[in-house]
């Protein structure tokens, strides 16, 4: 059955850890991880609660395939109400922590209340206890990881923790695990820190031995691995170039936003692309990319492990940053690079290291700095606010300086830590925040690609590429090519991607498999692992149920159809040059059709008949 | 013809498919903590290294065992532990210079790579051929081939 059927409930107010059985009725309806934990959240948390108050809960959840030999079966998610958006948050991470939690015998951990002192949770198989966190509070995520390994003298311990930015109240802090993997978006790390919970350290020795039909499972997972190996994207492109393979592609089709989305098309894109990362540099003859690395159980291995040029100004006298560490992925390279106009690969890699070290979402961080840069250039803010830093588009020196200051929580950090929506509102320029529901866009301009605009506008966690990656279809032709600038059929396309992704995120698998896998590859793996009916049809309906459940949470939190929108810039300011010249996003043409395709009312509400159809 | 596990750390991505395949074969569970092959990550170097028993001909573990619980599988050359004879004294774990024989709390015996009776599952599961199972006399074949190809810059080496 692949679930451990056990939940660990940690009451931080009382300091207790208790085991309880997994609600199997819900598991059969919501599968695991994103879906199942969101079900618990919607049942246990008032959607109107203060996201940073003791009434919010934070759930770390695995899926039924987490910890198995299914390729990419090592994912876990962090679920809570987001302090950045006020909507439901679910951030997914790879690395090794999720599988270890499962090996220790737990499907998920529910954290509730708030500790009056800093603590961390130590899990050794079925033993779980809260320990004083004095020695790690105030430390970076990297230091915390090292200290916990030293304290417990166990090299095989896996750690998830928050860095200093979360402690300082940055609203988009990540939960970091295994040093450079992140449950990155929506400020799930901020919620963790708000509970005075610094880290979770886990060691599991029990393994997973209760797969429903082991023989069928091995056959289905082997078939799946063969499909990944033979596919050009998952078998060649991602291992060789990582997601960064997209930088030149998206720039080429006229959909790479630049300088806070003021421009589309970035002249420095090549300098920060996958190709540039592979090029040996002059100083030491080594490329930025040291090697590719895999998360637990993943046969794709898209992860970038990079080094910064040791002679580069950012790391010159800092040997601790001259070794290899987690390198740039596409969304981070875009937000930190093109969106700020900085095309210095070494500076961006260093800033990416700092994002990992102190746990902030590089997409929101880069986009927030970009918004600040635009306000600096138009004179809204000056060196008085930025502590003397000339925060101009394209300045690697300024960006490095402000990031080093940011992680310490001093100076302009409090402003930047609010995210671009609050920052731009504070300085009277709300239209310069490139966000949906308060969360910043990733690296695809919705003026150039219509469907992704609808996906951003309707995403349950605010602007996000991982809630419905229609780029696969609109740019890469997976599973079928649709025209970038067409709006016809995009409502159905977005719905299909959103529902399928919700299911993948609930299984323990990585969404990158879907470059190669359809639901006909995924469903048999779940069906063999789990009891119950996990046919393609039931998997898709489960995904749709999860999507609607998340929407109901947001509705109860106060969100309406008015929040399914894009910033004016993307609806009114045309692209000035390049292959997509003259375009804006035509959300108005797609949104009514999307509501219809979802079985919602014209004002985006979920009617009783749709609820009944989905057993909600 | 005997075969050997041949490990090329440069190809390893650290995915741990080998550890799961090993534990599944020997314990019926996906459980890296009970795998006989271990992948080490050298974070600052950006390197991964799968590591397991090399099946020494004159095996320290076998010589050290006071109850003759370790014997040679004549087909594969693997040094194999007999659970019936092993008393869990752990002397072999001290004798092994490589640390690849270890005690298992779960069974009260020592455990080590047995080449899965000639069909090592780690090699079968490795997605990048970082672990292969090759002619024991020719574990250097791929490196020789690559090196030979370099010495003939214009030639396409074919095996």
The domains of chain A are located at 6-203, 257-436, 446-515+535-613
- Count the neighbouring beta carbons within 10 Å of the beta carbon of residue A503: 29
Q: Tell me whether A325 touches chain B (CB under 8 Å).
A: yes
CA gap B56, A458 in Å, rounded: 62
State yes or no: pLDDT of B153 exceeds 70: no
Mean pLDDT of chain A: 97
Structure confidence at residue B152 (pLDDT): 82
CA gap A160, B15 in Å, rounded: 19
Q: Shortest CB distance from B15 goes to which of A207, A301, A306?
A: A301
Q: Are the Cβ atoms of A293 and B28 closer than 8 angstroms?
A: no
The answer to whether A417 and A407 are in contact (CB under 8 A) is: no
**Run of H or E including A103:** helix A97-103
> Which residues on A lie below 8 Å from B30 (Cβ)?
67-69, 207-209, 211
> Strand pairing partners for A303?
A293
Summarize pLDDT for B96-143 with one digit per residue, the tens: 999 999 999 999 999 999 999 999 999 999 999 999 999 999 999 999
Structure confidence at residue A546 (pLDDT): 98
The ranges of chain A with pLDDT < 70 are 1
**Run of H or E including A183:** strand A181-183
> Which residues on A lie below 8 Å from B20 (Cβ)?
68-69, 297
State yes or no: pLDDT of B155 exceeds 60: no
Q: Are strands A6-11 and A108-112 parallel, antiparallel or unpaired?
A: parallel
CA distance to partner chain B, nearest, from residue A68 (Å): 6
A427: three-class secondary structure by DSSP: coil
What percent of chain A clears pLDDT 70, i.e. is strictly above it?
Answer: 100
Tokens of B130: 């970082």
Tell me, which fold does domain B1-52+117-147 have in CATH?
A: Alpha-Beta Plaits (3.30.70)
State yes or no: pLDDT of B157 exceeds 60: no
Structure confidence at residue A5 (pLDDT): 97
CA distance to partner chain B, nearest, from residue A115 (Å): 32
CATH 3.30.70.20 boundaries in chain B: 1-52+117-147, 56-112
Structure confidence at residue A240 (pLDDT): 97
Contacts of A437 (CB under 8 A, 6+ apart): A85, A86, A87, A459, A461, A462, A463, A559, A563
Q: Are the Cβ atoms of A324 and B44 closer than 8 angstroms?
A: yes
Q: Shortest CB distance from A69 goes to which of B30, B46, B48?
A: B30
Summarize pLDDT for A420-464 with one digit per residue, the tens: 999 999 999 999 999 999 999 999 999 999 999 999 999 999 999
> Which residues on A lie below 8 Å from B111 (Cβ)?
none
Q: Are the Cβ atoms of B20 and A68 closer than 8 angstroms?
A: yes
Structure confidence at residue A289 (pLDDT): 98
CA distance to partner chain B, nearest, from residue A219 (Å): 12
> Which residues on A lie below 8 Å from B17 (Cβ)?
69, 297, 299
Contacts of A150 (CB under 8 A, 6+ apart): none
| A window 512-571, beta carbon within 8 A of B | none
CA distance to partner chain B, nearest, from residue A108 (Å): 18
Q: Are the Cβ atoms of B14 and A293 closer than 8 angstroms?
A: yes
Best B11, B20, B34, B45 member to test A by mutation, with max A CBs in 10 Å, is B20
Summarize pLDDT for A56-72 with one digit per residue, the tens: 999 999 999 999 999 99
CA distances from A427 to A268, A310, A423, A431 (A): 29, 38, 7, 11
The answer to whether B14 and B136 are in contact (CB under 8 A) is: no
State yes or no: pLDDT of B158 exceeds 90: no
Tell me, which fold does domain B56-112 have in CATH?
A: Alpha-Beta Plaits (3.30.70)
Q: Tell me whether A206 touches chain B (CB under 8 Å).
A: yes
Which ipTM value was assigned to this complex? 0.96
Q: Are the Cβ atoms of B21 and A293 closer than 8 angstroms?
A: no
Q: Tell me whether A324 touches chain B (CB under 8 Å).
A: yes
CA gap A524, A351 in Å, rounded: 41
Q: Tell me whether A94 touches chain B (CB under 8 Å).
A: no
Which of A54, A196, A203, A53 minimizes the C-alpha distance to A133? A196
Contacts of A153 (CB under 8 A, 6+ apart): none
**CATH number 3.60.9.10 is the correct assignment for the domain at A6-203:** yes
Which of A430, A433, A434 minimizes the C-alpha distance to A442? A434
CA gap A558, A560 in Å, rounded: 7
Structure confidence at residue A1 (pLDDT): 60
**CATH number 1.10.10.10 is the correct assignment for the domain at A257-436:** no
Mean pLDDT of chain B: 95
Q: What is the CATH number of domain A446-515+535-613?
A: 1.10.599.10
Tokens of B150: 């370099």
State yes or no: pLDDT of B156 exceeds 60: no
CA distances from B43 to A214, A267, B13, B139, B153 (A): 34, 33, 12, 27, 34
Question: For residue B1, what pLDDT band results from cuts at 50, 70 and 90?
Answer: confident
């Amino acid at each position: 059955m692949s679930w451990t059927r056990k939940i660990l409930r940690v009451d931080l107010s009382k300091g207790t850890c208790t085991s309880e059985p997994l609600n199997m009725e819900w598991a059969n309806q919501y599968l695991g991880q994103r879906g199942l934990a969101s079900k618990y959240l919607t049942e246990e948390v008032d959607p109107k609660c203060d996201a940073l108050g003791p009434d919010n809960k934070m759930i770390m959840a695995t899926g039924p395939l987490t910890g198995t030999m299914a390729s990419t079966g090592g994912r876990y998610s962090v679920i809570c109400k987001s302090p950045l958006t006020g909507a439901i948050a679910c951030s997914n991470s790879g690395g090794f922590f999720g599988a270890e939690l499962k090996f220790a015998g737990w499907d998920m951990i529910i954290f509730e209340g708030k500790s009056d002192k800093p603590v961390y949770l130590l899990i050794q198989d079925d033993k779980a206890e809260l320990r004083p966190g004095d020695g790690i509070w105030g430390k970076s995520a990297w230091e915390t990881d090292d200290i916990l390994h030293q304290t417990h003298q166990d090299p095989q311990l896996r750690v998830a923790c928050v860095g200093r930015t979360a402690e300082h109240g940055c609203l988009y802090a990540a939960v970091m695990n295994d040093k450079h993997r992140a449950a990155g978006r929506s400020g799930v790390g901020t919620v963790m820190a708000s509970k005075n919970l610094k880290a979770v350290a886990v060691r599991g020795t029990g393994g997973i031995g209760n797969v429903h039909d082991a023989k069928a499972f091995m056959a289905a997972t082997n078939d799946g691995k063969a499909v990944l190996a033979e596919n050009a994207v998952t078998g060649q492109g991602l291992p060789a170039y990582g997601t960064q393979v997209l930088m030149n592609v998206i720039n080429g089709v006229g959909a790479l936003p630049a300088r806070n989305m003021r421009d589309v098309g970035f002249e420095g894109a090549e300098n920060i692309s996958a190709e540039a990362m592979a090029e040996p540099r002059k100083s030491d003859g080594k490329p930025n990319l040291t090697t590719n690395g895999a998360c637990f159980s993943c046969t794709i291995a898209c992860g970038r492990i990079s080094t910064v040029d040791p002679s580069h100004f950012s790391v010159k006298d800092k040997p601790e940053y001259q070794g290899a560490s987690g390198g740039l992925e596409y969304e981070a390279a875009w937000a930190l690079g093109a969106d700020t106009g900085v095309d210095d690969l070494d500076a961006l890699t260093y800033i990416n290291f700092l994002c990992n070290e102190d746990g902030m979402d590089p997409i929101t961080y880069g986009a927030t700095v970009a918004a600040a840069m635009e306000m600096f250039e138009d004179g809204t803010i000056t060196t008085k606010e930025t502590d003397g830093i000339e925060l101009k588009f394209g300045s690697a020196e300024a960006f490095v300086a402000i990031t080093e200051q940011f992680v310490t929580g001093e100076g302009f950090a409090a402003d930047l830590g609010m995210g671009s929506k609050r920052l731009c509102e504070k300085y009277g320029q709300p239209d310069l925040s490139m966000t949906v529901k308060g969360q910043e866009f990733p690296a695809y301009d919705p003026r150039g690609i219509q469907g992704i605009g609808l996906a951003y506008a309707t995403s349950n966690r605010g602007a996000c590429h991982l809630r419905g990656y229609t780029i696969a279809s609109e740019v890469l032709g997976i599973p079928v090519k649709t025209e970038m600038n067409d709006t016809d059929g995009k409502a159905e396309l977005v719905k299909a991607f959103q529902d399928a992704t919700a299911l993948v995120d609930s299984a323990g698998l990585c969404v990158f498999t879907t470059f190669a896998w359809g639901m006909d590859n995924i469903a048999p793996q779940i069906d063999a692992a789990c009891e119950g009916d996990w046919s393609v049809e039931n998997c898709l309906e489960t995904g749709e149920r999860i999507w609607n459940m998340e929407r109901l949470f947001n509705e109860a939190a106060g969100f309406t159809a008015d929040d399914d929108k894009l910033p004016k810039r993307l609806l009114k300011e045309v692209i000035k040059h390049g292959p997509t010249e003259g375009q804006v996003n035509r959300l108005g043409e797609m949104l009514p059709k999307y509501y219809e395709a979802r079985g919602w009312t014209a004002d985006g509400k979920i009617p009783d008949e749709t609820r009944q159809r989905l057993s909600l | 013809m005997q075969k050997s596990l041949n490990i090329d750390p440069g190809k390893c991505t650290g995915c741990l498919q080998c550890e799961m395949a090993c534990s599944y074969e020997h314990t019926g569970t996906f459980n890296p903590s009970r795998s006989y092959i271990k992948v080490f990550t050298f974070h600052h170097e950006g390197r991964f290294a799968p590591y397991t028993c090399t099946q020494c001909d004159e095996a320290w573990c076998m010589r050290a065992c006071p109850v003759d619980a370790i014997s040679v599988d004549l087909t594969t050359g693997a040094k194999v532990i007999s659970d019936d004879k092993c008393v869990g004294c752990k002397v072999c774990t001290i004798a092994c210079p490589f640390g690849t024989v270890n005690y298992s709390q779960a069974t009260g015996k020592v455990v080590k790579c047995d080449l899965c009776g000639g069909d090592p599952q780690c090699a079968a599961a490795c997605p990048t051929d970082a672990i292969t199972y090759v002619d024991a006399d020719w574990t250097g074949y791929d490196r020789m081939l690559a090196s030979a190809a370099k010495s003939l810059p214009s030639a396409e080496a074919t095996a």
